[in-house]
Amino acid sequence: QPQLVESGGGLVQPGGSLRLSCQSSALTFEYYAVGWFRQAVEKEREGVSWMDSTGGTHNGTTYYADSVKGRFTMSRDSPQNTVYLQMDNLQPEDTAIYSCAVGPWGGFNQDEYNYWGQGTQVTVSS
């Protein structure tokens, strides 16, 4: 089972920023769709952003949930085989466990992803 490892979570004040990283030693991200999901306490997991594979139907395009559009930026460093989620202007409602996932098709539906990381906690609080 390929492993995905997230890092970069932590505690930040409202209005602050964090950058999450997702790495894999077994999967080459540019060949897959990669998604970021989050799950807050007592809430359903929700898609935050996803990026299509290079050469995929959406050819590397990145998509964002309305709740994070304009504040979060997803990017991929192919030589480092790392996917990032830059999160700016964080708000308490962004508090959740954030996980990266890999699949063939992408989208905001978690069922489209085959491999998942363990997640990293993001807490936004004053």
Phi and psi (nearest 5°) for 110? -60, -20
Closest to 115 measured CA to CA, from 17, 23, 7, 39: 23
Confidence category of residue 108, pLDDT binned at 50, 70, 90: very high
Q: pLDDT tens across 32-77, in order?
A: 999 999 999 999 999 999 999 887 667 789 999 999 999 999 999 9
- Do residues 18 and 10 touch, judged by C-beta distance below 8 A? yes
- The Cα 110–Cα 13 span in angstroms is 29
